[in-house]
Structure 1
Amino acid sequence: MKTLPRLLLIGLGVVCLAGAGWGIYSLKNRQVAPVAPVVTGIGVPGTEAFPATFFPERYEKFSANACRQCHEESFQEWLPSDHAHANRPVMMSMDLPAFLPAREIKVPGESFLFSEEAEKFWMTVTRDSGEQQRYALDGVIAVTPLRQYLAKLRGGRWQTTSVAYDPAADEWFDVFAGDERQPGEWGHWSGQGMNWNANCAWCHMTEYRKNFDIETDSYHTTWMEQGVSCMQCHVGMEEHVANATESYSPPVQTLSARRIMENCASCHSRRDQFTPDTFVAGDIYHQHFGLSLPDQPGLYYPDGQILDEDYVYASFLMSPMGHAGVTCLDCHNPHSGKTILPFENNNLCMRCHDTGLDGATIIDPVAHSHHGPDSTGNRCVECHMPETPYMQRDPRRDHGFLLPDPLMTAELGIPNACQRCHSDETTEWAIEWTEKWYGDKLAEKPQRKRARALAAAYAGDPAAVGQLLGLAADEPNHAWRATYTGLLGSYIPEREVMAYLDKALKDDSSMVRARAVRALAPMQQAQPVIEPMLKDPSRNVRIAAEQAYAGWGESIPDPDAAKEWQTYLEFQADRVSGAFMLADQDIRDGNNERAAKLIGQAVALDPASPEVLRQGAIMYSRIGDNASAEQLLQQALEEAPRLAVLHYSLALLYAGDGRLQEAIPLLENTVLLDPQFYRAWYNLALARTKLEDWQGAKDALDKAAPAFGNDPGWLQTRMIVERRLATQR
């Protein structure tokens, strides 16, 4: 019995930002039973279902309420903030207006009824089929501009509702705006994509531990305090509080401005998470997280403007401000989160750009913007920090501080700030004015070169190689260097690219080194240069090297690195890719029983995805369970009957079991759906030779020739087929 080709597993891109993990200490040894209600820092009492804390003794010492005793001013700044309200139990005074009177909202496939009964809040979901379920809503994320409530499902899962409440408009709305999502799908409100434990909670809580248990497929989640409070951001709190009753209490340990910003970035970034919720204030960001950059298509526009939800940090690192040393606290109050000066009248920006503080360019807003005082076009943020709405009603400002460039709109479809305001004007009109006012400046800045190079790379254009190498050679910004490095991986093994990547492995930036490792990882012959990276001082780089070994199907030679990789895999096991990667390792270790369990868990997280079903089938075939593999592939074909690779995969499974009569029609379907699927043509030729269909085999070999014409196996098969045909003439 043969198996399907081994799956090459790729890394875990974080789709929903705040990934979390299960604790590395034993679940049996933790005393984390729910406690009696405690009042949170913002005055919300906890409940048995959704307690304010799991650790009352620690809460008493280190909660925001405890700090308030000495730090009333800071507490009052924090109290109305988004951080304070990031997560809380529901309460009648704040939440009743959303539920009384009861309101119903219809979305594709189902309707939601939100109501209050006996001082409890309820969500009743009715499917179009008539199936109905009722859920208690015990927690809520955020306060404004929208609130998402939390419903508890099986296995300790808290799910965020896809219908959110807008307190300003006093209405419920669909955050997916009419996109029909079916139960069982990853992105449905009840699916893993909307799971609070894995995707939201770490950035909305204080001292959060996800604690996912692989064996029971359940969460044993804990937290010290709901919302983002003092302990999440300050260092040395234990010593500070311990001495608070003495005659002298040392001040809380201070950090460098850069390290403080990395603490903010632990949440305000789109990233992969390497460690099981062990990041604490003062830690180095790249020891715990892998930052997403524009080398991943679909996250940013080619010039670096935000496209998908990117959560600020990467944009800021790539910006001239971030590169110049500006940090979060230069603009934001650390306790309120608000700007330290108003930005609506440019006071915030002019704090530096009116005085030349720290070398900032001195700017006259009217002369610079060519818009009159107090006009929208005169506001710095409207041109350099345009807003993009997410979740329908949550506008977020771009922190890339880019230049509006309508020429790139015309060339590459990149939006420009000019037409966000002047929506009635044409792109040509905007180009005329920006060229008149800023033409020389726009031409000399690297922004256009970057946009053109990234657009070419996204399109797979060979011309991108020279552009990316040229930019990388002169790029002082490590985030942009890392971006170019990641994109150059698509052009291996070109000689110049290989030379650049060899140099990039020695770059000062761990982001660049990590991307160089990932770029080289598909080539197992790069193992001699990747192996030393297992001992790199940055976990960001080590994880990339460890992942390379997993992709090669080889054991990691360094024991510490192997242990680190195992921790990472177990932490990510509640994600599809994480469960598959851990199953892959179990298969290589001979632990087929747990591998089968993990494959099943992975598929259950996204059972409507044809690709997840196909990958699950490949994994099942590797442990000899071809019956389960066949079942998944048949299920995938029901979901996507015109996806050629599904027909191909099932054909290989049948061929491996000696079922050629069933495999050949599937291979024929494959090439009918995708005539350039050369591997399928080649396999079809081989299958036809088994049945002595020599003319059919020759026809299929001819179709495979563009990809296999110089392959020794193809040449030998062709010779045999032609010899057989000659004897029949």
Structure 2
Amino acid sequence: MAVLAAIVVVALGGLGSLFVVRDESGVSRALRAQTATASPNYVGSEVCAGCHHAQAAGWQTSQHKHAMQHASTAYVLGDFENASFDYHDVRSRFFTRDGKFFVETDGPDGRLAIFEVKYTFGIDPLQQYLIEFPDGRIQALSIAWDSRPKDQGGQRWFHLYPDEQIKHDDVLHWTKLNQNWNFMCAECHSTGVQKNYDAANDRFRTTWTEISVGCEACHGRGSQHVDWARSQESWFARDKDPRKGLAVLLNERDGVTWQHDPKTGNPQRSITPATTRREVETCGLCHARRGQFSEEWVPGEPLSDTHTVSLLARGLYHADGQMRDEVYNYGSFKQSRMFAAGVTCSDCHEPHTAKLRAPGGGVCLQCHASEKYDVASHTHHDGATPKVTCAACHMPVSTYMIIDKRHDHSLRIPRPDLSVKLGTPNACNDCHTDKSAQWAADAVAHWHGPARKGFQDYAEAFQASWTNRPDAAALLELVAASPTAPAIARASALSEMQSRVSPGNIELARKGLIDPDPLVRIGALDMIDGLPGNRNWSLVSPLLSDSSRGVRIRAVSVLAAVPTANQPSSDRTAFDRAAAEFVAAQKFNSDRPEARTSLGTFYVRRGLTSAAEEEYKAALRLSSQYAPGAINLSDLYRQLGRNEDGERVLRTTIQISRPDAGLHHALGLTLIREKRPDDALAEFRTATELEPGRSHYAYVYGVALHSSGRMDESMTALKENLSRHPGDRETLLALVAYSRDAGDIGTALEYAEQLSRIAPNDREITRLTGDLRARSKR
């Protein structure tokens, strides 16, 4: 769970102060002071407020205005009257001195120290506090203020990790990498942020043009709009720019009406919506689970141009697409029937106050006929107290950061039947906690019929993929090929098929690579990433010049292993250009071990082993506990014949990190190469115990047992793995081979037939099954 306060309202931006001096013509002096500019610059919300009074007044009351502020009595909500808070063995104290705010708490070395609070962060339902360090890092304190009223449990200090002790050497400690504002928070809590990380000296010089979320955070740099407004004063030099000098016109609702279909009672948009929406992409900048790789974001453009958007991945979402981890609103909303119908953020939220356009269910009844939906025959909760709202059933709440309740924006119908089958949550049992999911499923079926399945119908496919079921590939193919599935679901299905590519489904990748949504094109690239680059070249190379930077850098990473000499000469310029973009994207995030590791892997694929080694080492300097950096560096040493160095790296990281199955698995492989099978077995066993859900770890452990002559233990381990993952191909292949070698042809044939059902078009498996069937008849 991310621990940094996020704005939890959807909005399109704001405008600043109401009080701007105006001259005789009625135009603000601040506006007149702006000079014409060839390229747009930031002007500040105060300038915007000179003309846009109503919008500015609304923004002043919004959470956007309070997203971040200087720590002062006007903005600090917490108790700094020498208040104390105990967290395990640390007693923190909050106090003021000379008009400034301070906290005494455990610092980066674990000792008590005094730190000045420089900034407030957020306002409701909690407020965090930011502390600046001499190297330019700004860190978010993990002790936060509960700003809710006292009768709701608020007006108290609390810790964001109450159930575990986060010590100073933990990556989650407030002074460490994963609580860093410069990378994790700045872009979405301030306007015009430039991170300015100095990789050579490991320092930040982060700047902003406005400390909170102002007008230009959503509308873009405003100087050209100011120039346009100035030109309107002149009858002979009036600028006729239809965009009024703005980076984007957020006008997708203009001229749109919603008309009720008399047959269904459901609303229908008068204008067909675009594939990607300017408003949704603009709000998605901060209301999405995503990672920034460029500061060249332009409002209204697809978010994938400058950010890596998280798909419906295991651990982030439930199998049916409901939010699980802190994914915010973008990925959920893009799954919804509302998004498919053309609903956009400001249909429901007033963009400057960021409040609902109508209270409670009234916002839904703007379009949905009350005589059909606001009646007992629909809700089946007549007389309930408090009244059951639309959101209670269709936008269930999850709590993040201990007290921050957020609605799921996928706007789905309750599916307790899926809870029974797959274990996903449902809105019914959120309230009826004393009842079973089956009870709720029976009630819904009684009210609405057994075939009421809703818009999002991909739960079983993702559940099958995440549990490695035999039918996973077939179910994912249906989602990827569906003309009605949300684009983010199709992208996610394609990405999940990476380990399941076959001649029978490669056409889905071809179609995905030319999909109008860049997210789907990226998902298709994920799908074929495991194939040899020379086989992929004709498929992927056109995307080296894709309109989306996110697609281009994903494409070049897929093709990175193809040597320059083997690349068609006509494609080399595009490849080099995309490769430069990829490198720049990683270097932009050179303050993060993830980016340094990603760049190292790219260099390995390009054959630049020295550069790769330096990137992996840099990743571990940034975070000595970063397991992927250690694993990749160890694997590089394997390629270079330096297994002892690889072992040293892994053991060092294991010693200082939380238990990590991947580290132990990688160490086991290293020890096998060093011809130390007994030591390797212990590591493989630990990996399997730490992460039993990872079938590959158990498979390798079973194979290692067999290689050590422990045949019975090997078969037991593999059979247990197969019971947990009945569709795991490599486990089945091992069981086929070991059963056959032991002379148990009948059992080998049974496993082979299981494989055939999983991969009916695989020629090798068909041949293997045929051979075993022939031998069984002898």
* TM superposition shift of 1:239: 2.2
The aligned residue for residue 260 of structure 1 is 279
Cα gap change, 1:641 to 1:478, in 2 (>3 Å): closer
- The Cα offsets for residues 216-254 of structure 1, whole Å up to 9 and x where unpaired, read as 122121110011101112257212223545525875642
The aligned residue for residue 293 of structure 2 is 274
Secondary structure, in 3 states, of the residue corresponding to 2:101? Answer: strand
Greater CA drift, 192-201 or 567-576: 567-576
Matched, 1:219 2:204: yes
The aligned residue for residue 283 of structure 1 is 301
Matched, 1:101 2:84: no
The aligned residue for residue 540 of structure 2 is 530
The aligned residue for residue 22 of structure 1 is none
Could you tell me which of 199, 224, 228 is aligned with 2:213? Answer: 228
Secondary structure, in 3 states, of the residue corresponding to 1:480? Answer: helix
Separation of aligned partners in 1, 2:547 and 2:536 = 20
The aligned residue for residue 509 of structure 1 is 517
- The Cα offsets for residues 699-729 of structure 1, whole Å up to 9 and x where unpaired, read as 9999999767999xxx9xxxxxxxxxxxxxx
Separation of aligned partners in 1, 2:414 and 2:607 = 56
Separation of aligned partners in 1, 2:614 and 2:291 = 24
* TM superposition shift of 1:559: 2.0
- 8 Å CA contact 2:5–2:128 kept in 1: the answer is no
The aligned residue for residue 23 of structure 1 is none
The aligned residue for residue 50 of structure 1 is none
The aligned residue for residue 8 of structure 1 is none
Matched, 1:490 2:499: yes
- 8 Å CA contact 1:419–1:425 kept in 2: the answer is yes
Matched, 1:207 2:192: yes
Q: What amino acid is aligned across from residue 305 of structure 2 in structure 1?
A: Q
The aligned residue for residue 6 of structure 1 is none
Give the number of aligned pairs.
643
Cα gap change, 1:322 to 1:647, in 2 (>3 Å): closer
Cα gap change, 1:598 to 1:453, in 2 (>3 Å): closer
- The Cα offsets for residues 586-634 of structure 1, whole Å up to 9 and x where unpaired, read as 5677877765553333113432355543334445666787776444322
Residue identity over aligned pairs, in percent, reads 28
Separation of aligned partners in 1, 2:716 and 2:78 = 66
Cα gap change, 1:703 to 1:479, in 2 (>3 Å): closer
Q: What amino acid is aligned across from residue 150 of structure 1 in structure 2?
A: L
Matched, 1:181 2:166: yes
Matched, 1:124 2:143: no
Cα gap change, 1:369 to 1:680, in 2 (>3 Å): closer
Secondary structure, in 3 states, of the residue corresponding to 1:155? Answer: coil
Secondary structure, in 3 states, of the residue corresponding to 1:105? Answer: strand
Greater CA drift, 324-333 or 500-509: 500-509
Separation of aligned partners in 1, 2:467 and 2:388 = 36
* TM superposition shift of 1:438: 1.6
Q: What amino acid is aligned across from residue 517 of structure 2 in structure 1?
A: S
- 8 Å CA contact 1:645–1:670 kept in 2: the answer is no
Secondary structure, in 3 states, of the residue corresponding to 1:133? Answer: strand
**TM-score after normalising by structure 2:** 0.74
Separation of aligned partners in 1, 2:599 and 2:615 = 7
The aligned residue for residue 420 of structure 1 is 430
Root mean square deviation, CA, Å:
3.9
Cα gap change, 1:160 to 1:594, in 2 (>3 Å): farther
* TM superposition shift of 1:102: 1.7
The aligned residue for residue 66 of structure 1 is 47
- 8 Å CA contact 2:18–2:56 kept in 1: the answer is no
Q: Unpaired runs of 5+ in structure 1?
A: 1-12, 19-39, 44-55, 357-361, 689-694, 716-729
Secondary structure, in 3 states, of the residue corresponding to 1:84? Answer: coil
The aligned residue for residue 36 of structure 1 is none
The aligned residue for residue 587 of structure 2 is 570
Cα gap change, 1:17 to 1:601, in 2 (>3 Å): farther
Matches within 5 A, 1:303-702: 303-343=320-360, 346-354=361-369, 363-372=373-382, 375-376=385-386, 378-443=388-453, 445-447=454-456, 449-476=457-484, 477-492=486-501, 494-524=502-532, 525-550=535-560, 557=572, 558-585=575-602, 597-619=614-636, 629-639=646-656, 646=663, 649-650=666-667, 663-670=676-683, 673=686
- 8 Å CA contact 1:212–1:221 kept in 2: the answer is yes
**TM-score after normalising by structure 1:** 0.78
Separation of aligned partners in 2, 1:702 and 1:426 = 36
- 8 Å CA contact 2:498–2:529 kept in 1: the answer is no
Secondary structure, in 3 states, of the residue corresponding to 1:198? Answer: helix
Cα gap change, 1:393 to 1:701, in 2 (>3 Å): closer
Q: What amino acid is aligned across from residue 469 of structure 1 in structure 2?
A: E
Separation of aligned partners in 1, 2:329 and 2:606 = 40
- 8 Å CA contact 2:78–2:147 kept in 1: the answer is yes
- 8 Å CA contact 1:122–1:134 kept in 2: the answer is yes
- 8 Å CA contact 1:210–1:221 kept in 2: the answer is yes
- The Cα offsets for residues 628-670 of structure 1, whole Å up to 9 and x where unpaired, read as 64443222343579877656655765787xx75xx45423434
Separation of aligned partners in 2, 1:129 and 1:378 = 51
Q: What amino acid is aligned across from residue 388 of structure 1 in structure 2?
A: S
Greater CA drift, 309-318 or 642-651: 642-651
Secondary structure, in 3 states, of the residue corresponding to 2:377? Answer: helix
Separation of aligned partners in 1, 2:699 and 2:478 = 35
- 8 Å CA contact 2:400–2:406 kept in 1: the answer is yes
The aligned residue for residue 751 of structure 2 is none
- 8 Å CA contact 1:369–1:377 kept in 2: the answer is no
Cα gap change, 1:624 to 1:587, in 2 (>3 Å): farther
The aligned residue for residue 22 of structure 2 is none
Separation of aligned partners in 2, 1:420 and 1:678 = 38
The aligned residue for residue 27 of structure 2 is none
Separation of aligned partners in 2, 1:530 and 1:394 = 43
Separation of aligned partners in 1, 2:228 and 2:184 = 37
| Higher RCO, Cα 8 Å, sep 6+ | 1
* TM superposition shift of 1:585: 4.5
The aligned residue for residue 48 of structure 1 is none
